[in-house]
Homo-oligomer: A and B are copies of this chain.
């Protein structure tokens, strides 16, 4: 520890290590960052000095000097949702492999909040962004473009990404599930969304509508399950559905959490699933296959999507990938017991 001007205390610095090892700070820096360029003897001495002094490399100083923070930012609607945890893990695993740190922030499904969050993160000078969603305010887009920081958008699709895209067609996926339900013989299919829908939710609802329209099943029926996704919201909407006359024969939910809440609520009300009413979800979450009856769902490669997005971003950062890169992820329709599939059926798409 040293004392400098005004009594600021500081820890061991590279300079201190250099002094102990009898070399210059530059050599210490090289040992840490490009060890092959340094003579083996010196390297050993430096490493000993590092151990001896308990030196801890200062990435703040490094970031400032090198103009690279070694941080990638991940922007998502909410951290408290099981829907995104796997994607977070995908990003995080790739980041760790490349000795990059990930910093996360949530937007609460609000583009305005997203704008604030991105501006706040930009102050940390991240080397890149992974952003869930493709719907942003004009200002967000301008901010990102002006900053020149690579961006990978994901979990949605668009022909005009800010930079690069790891896409998922929520429309196609939900339409495919709707068609699968129609093929199973369901005719009065109700869709359950949320009161404050984001673009991904809207695209799913539209996919449902398109599926219904193409099947010539008359007017689509969409209910909202309250502000946020939770089993409780699913339960409440199930009660409303149970009261509908004539009663729908199938319930298609925006996601698995709502679907599970609805499924369990129907059972509790004495309404048999799928005999009285079928239920299907979206997301392919872990628990869906364990429920009784097992829940039909659209399986999304959540982990792989995070992984792919991070890899693409690192490529952009390294300069090995060009701007405009796009990669579309697929989905799988999993027909299980909750829609009357006697045995688990699978159909692959995209």
Contacts and interface: CB of A to CB of B under 8 A. Distances in A.
Interface string A96-122: 000001111110000000000001111
Interface in A55-90: 56-61, 63-64, 67, 69, 79-82, 85-86, 88-89
Contact of A104 (B11, B61, B104): B104
A290 interface: yes
A286 interface: yes
Given A235-B290, A290-B264, A85 B92 contact: no
A183 interface: no
Interface in A273-304: 286-287, 290-292
A193 interface: no
Contacts of A287: 231, 260, 287
B286 A123 contact: no
A30 B102 CA distance: 30
A146 interface: yes
Interface residues of A, number: 53
A1 to B, nearest CB: 9
A301 to B, nearest CB: 15
A147 interface: yes
A92 B64 contact: no
A132 to B, nearest CB: 15
A147 B124 CA distance: 23
A230 interface: yes
A136 interface: no
Contacts of A79: 85, 88-89, 92
Nearest to A59: B123
* Closest 10 A/B residue pairs (Cβ): A59-B123, A231-B290, A80-B89, A60-B63, A80-B85, A264-B290, A57-B123, A60-B64, A267-B292, A59-B124
